[in-house]
Chains A and B, each alone.
Chain A
Amino acid sequence: MSGEWRTLVPRIEQLARSLGLDFHPVEFEAVPDSFMMEIAVYGLPVRMPHWSFGVRYIYQLIQRHMGHSRLFEVVFPGNPGHAYLSAGNGLAENALVCAHVLGHADFSRKNLLFQRCQGQVSERIVEHAAQHARQIQQAIETHGLERVEAALDAALALEQHIDVDQPLRRPAYPQYLEPGKALADDAFRRRFAALEPAGPAVGVTAPQRAPLPPHPERDLLWFVAQYAPEMENWERDIFLAVREESFYFHPVFATQIMNEGWASYWHARLLREADFIPQQAYLDAIRCHSEVVRPVAADAQVALSVNPYHLGFSLWEHIVAQRGLEAAFAIRTEDDDFAFIRNHLTRDLAEELGLFRYRARDGKVTVLEADLDALHEAILAPKYNFGAPAVWVRRVCADGTLELGHDHRLDGRGLDLQRSRKVLEYLQRLWRRPVRLVTVDEDGADLELSVS
């Protein structure tokens, strides 16, 4: 197994550029399977140590022993991008994987969500994450494993609770409420004033302190790092490091169907048009493609989940066929999964792909009536709010108690109480004042959890 595939890379890249893909250079590296697995577990090639990754690692090991699918590649966006290929890939697989990686590289360079994230986090997330890992290793040496772990327990538990609509480097809230604007002195105002001549003078009050937070705050990581009354600076840094990595993970999460579909579309197309690939390798690659991009496992009739590769791939094929490559490029730039599914998964296509909604209850699965809008929402439901329940900071009380609220109307039901209590316990160890959370019980009545 030599680097024969490396000779193919420049030619595939050239072909991709000639077809209109636009990507930053990608550094390819072949690594052993064990390391591929770790990248999958950590989400980044080098990431902060935490025991919860150890748990995921064991689950991965078990899955691998049970013969679940192996990983061919992992790619990290950036300039340059980093692509890790499994050293166990054959030539055909690597040809496929290189083409696939270029699809991702184009997507992550051009998609607006990625652009915005990379503009904020930087184009060198892999190096940043390694820097965070080093920083946390130093913190462990200085402050001891127990204390650093307490900070990471809390920060990683809140990993998904960020607000990507706000900038990564976010200024503190204004301390005072904005003074009311001086009222325009127009004809209406003069007539209005004349109605009640003895009214008190408006707008000349002393500046008023803004409540904390001035509005419900979704970005728990930022809020805690910014406003925790007794946190050490190094603990705040840990929160912000986790938050920065979350900002990086967000577009990956929010465009998964599109992104995987796009890469799959392009690996299929590039291989088809690459006349320099040996015939046998091409056939092997196509076989490999159809194993990855298939709706249901080989021996099954029905799958109870949707393979994002297959769904995305089919949508892109359809879009290119119907509306041309230019339109596809525009969609790849502008959409995320929400727009992509809602705009482009049509009734015909859903039928053609055999997508169906189902209801699972007491171990019985019932297939529901076809309803396109409901289908869209069922596909997208797990993607809202970065996949986490809507938990917001409501207020900080005078005694420093942190009050969180769960918007159960948005989520449809209340929180899992045992887990929520544990998360509050993690958080309380850093907030160092009482922490409470309001959600609802089974009957929709308010329920308060508090940890002090």
Chain B
Amino acid sequence: MNEPAGGESPFSAAKWYELFSRGARDWLRHDAKVRDAVRRHLPELVGAGEIIGGAARTVRVPVTLLEHYRFRLRRSAEQQSVGQGAAKPGDVFADPTHRPAPSGKGPGGEDEGEVQLLLELKVEDIVEWLWEEMRLPNLKPRAGPSEETEWIREGWDRRGARSRLDRRRSFKELVKRRGAPGAVPTFTDEDLRFRQLARRRRPAVRAAVFFLLDVSGSMSERDRQLAKSFFFWTVQGLRCQYRMLETVFVAHTTEAWEFTESEFFQVSGTGGTVASKGFGKVSEIIAERFAAQQYNVYVYYASDGDNAASDVAAAREALGALESQTCFCGYVEVAAGMSRRLETETGRLFSERAAAGGAVDSCVLTGFEDIWAALRTFFAAQERAAEDA
């Protein structure tokens, strides 16, 4: 009876519990549920302003553990219970388990001690969700005539560098040979097989994204924050599509300058707005560094839409020139806290181009909650643009 239980007990024979943890399985299910719940709030997640901490590849979302609800009595201010130890009637002491009553009505796990979970979501995952959520067919990478070469494995040879020795293959040869009468039962040079590499050419798929930001005096800090969040998610979206994504950051007031990514988001300026300078600078950089045949070029322009009246004609021309160099131009009008609808100078400019059938689109950001809709608009517009092309 006290022998280690034999075959008839399903629990002892196999020791399955050393291989499998039900607790971990159900925990993973809980985790998946939390992720689903978070995912349902994707627009808010994307809108959360503080995500773009530079090179961070994850987004941290604080969540509480899910509670499996049961009927419970209402919390009462006073509880009676029984304790044990050296205490006389009338003694008063502090309750070590006491925590201030939770404000509001949210059911907190007051009995088990609240555990906050920092859910770490990969930016890639969120982008993937975004993609699914928007039901976008993937953008078709447009391949230019240029090619890149890469080395791939192809075939085996009896000679080669030691590092390319394919042991498995060599061993097979040995086994084959052993079958023959009078064979030597150890490895010989005849058995060795080395992997060969071949050069393969493939069309290059590259993209360059220009982020053009208006930093004139009329752009508030919050406007820039909005633009920045939007730019962040746009880069993420495009990175899914292109193995090699180059980003260029340009800011302009009445002049235009190129910045590095980290500098770019710190920039602030004063003075007026001359959009044509910004467009001109971008055109210049494209011509200089990104030959149109090799790159898919995207331009995103964020501005509050005020452009100097004297610049209208020049800006129209510059934008026209830019359009011919790019796959897509997007314009985001940032107007934190206001509800305008693209009735600004720059807004009109882009509407004109869109009406004329150009690969451009525009939309308005008045708050973080609009970023979601903006992404949707732009990716759909790009898709159309790609199909037209």
Contacts and interface: CB of A to CB of B under 8 A. Distances in A.
Interface in A337-384: 353-370, 375, 378-379, 381
B92 to A, nearest CB: 5
A37 B261 CA distance: 50
Interface in A41-92: 41-42, 45-47, 49-55, 57-62, 80, 82
B22 A304 contact: no
Contacts of A261: none
B22 A358 contact: no
A59 B27 contact: no
A270 interface: no
Interface stretch (A188-196, A236-244, A274-282, A413-421): A413-421
Interface in B39-93: 65-93
A357 B5 CA distance: 47
B102 to A, nearest CB: 11
Given A6-B2, A365-B95, A418-B106, A305 B71 contact: no
A290 to B, nearest CB: 15
Interface residues of B, number: 63
Contacts of B84: 295-296, 302-303, 305-307, 310-311, 353-356
A435 B330 CA distance: 51
Nearest to A380: B82
Contact of B71 (A29, A54, A302, A419): A419
B contact face: mostly helix, strand, loop, or mixed: loop
A165 interface: no
A133 B67 CA distance: 22
B289 interface: no
A59 B26 CA distance: 13
A31 interface: yes
Given A354-B87, A366-B91, A10 B2 contact: yes
B31 to A, nearest CB: 8
Interface in B105-129: 105-107, 112-113, 115
B17 interface: yes
Contacts of A295: 84-85
Given A126-B11, A305-B81, A365-B93, A41 B23 contact: yes
A301 interface: yes
Interface residues of A, number: 97
A54 B70 contact: no
B24 interface: yes
A300 B82 CA distance: 16
Given A356-B84, A367-B92, A361 B78 contact: yes
Nearest to A10: B2
A354 B82 contact: no
Given A62-B115, A360-B81, A423-B69, A416 B88 contact: no
Contacts of B95: 304, 360, 363-365
A9 B5 CA distance: 14
Point out which of B74, B85, B86, B97 has the most chain A C-beta atoms below 10 A from its C-beta.
B74
Contacts of B92: 364-367
B74 A35 contact: no
Interface string A24-43: 01111101101101100110
A361 B78 CA distance: 5
A292 to B, nearest CB: 15
A417 B115 CA distance: 22
Interface string B7-30: 001111000011001111111111
Contacts of A26: 1
A57 B68 CA distance: 13
Q: Select the residue from B84, B87, B92, B97 with max chain A CB neighbours within 10 A.
A: B84
A54 B9 contact: no
A413 B75 CA distance: 9
Contacts of A303: 83-85
A442 interface: yes
A411 interface: yes
A363 B85 CA distance: 19
A49 B83 contact: no
B94 interface: yes
Nearest to A361: B78
B4 interface: yes
Contacts of B91: 366-367
A261 to B, nearest CB: 14
Given A57-B24, A362-B77, A418-B107, A375 B82 contact: yes
Nearest to B27: A54
A127 interface: yes
A442 B115 contact: no
B74 A52 contact: no
B312 to A, nearest CB: 57
A305 to B, nearest CB: 7
Contacts of A82: 9, 11
Nearest to B9: A27
A173 B94 CA distance: 53
A68 to B, nearest CB: 12
Pick the most buried of B27, B96, B97: most chain A CB atoms within 10 A of its CB: B27
A396 interface: no
Contacts of B68: 50-52, 55, 153, 156-157
Nearest to B93: A365
A301 B86 contact: yes
A417 B106 CA distance: 10
A38 B23 contact: yes
A130 B12 CA distance: 13
B77 A361 contact: yes
Given A35-B17, A157-B70, A57 B26 contact: yes
A361 to B, nearest CB: 4
B18 to A, nearest CB: 7
A363 B2 contact: no
B384 interface: no
Contacts of A357: 80-83
Nearest to B96: A304
Interface string B307-337: 0000000000000000000000000000000
B71 A389 contact: yes
B1 A27 contact: yes
Contacts of A126: 11
Contacts of B94: 363-365
A391 B73 CA distance: 11
A426 interface: yes
A416 B72 contact: yes
Contacts of A305: 81-84
Nearest to B15: A31
B33 interface: yes
B26 to A, nearest CB: 3
B108 to A, nearest CB: 10
13 contacts: A9-B2, A35-B18, A55-B27, A58-B30, A58-B115, A59-B115, A61-B23, A62-B115, A304-B97, A305-B84, A360-B81, A413-B76, A415-B74
Interface of B: 1-2, 4-5, 9-12, 17-18, 21-31, 33, 65-98, 100, 105-107, 112-113, 115
Kindly list the 4 A-B residue pairs having the minimum CB-CB distance in the complex, ordered from nearest: A54-B26, A302-B85, A57-B23, A52-B68
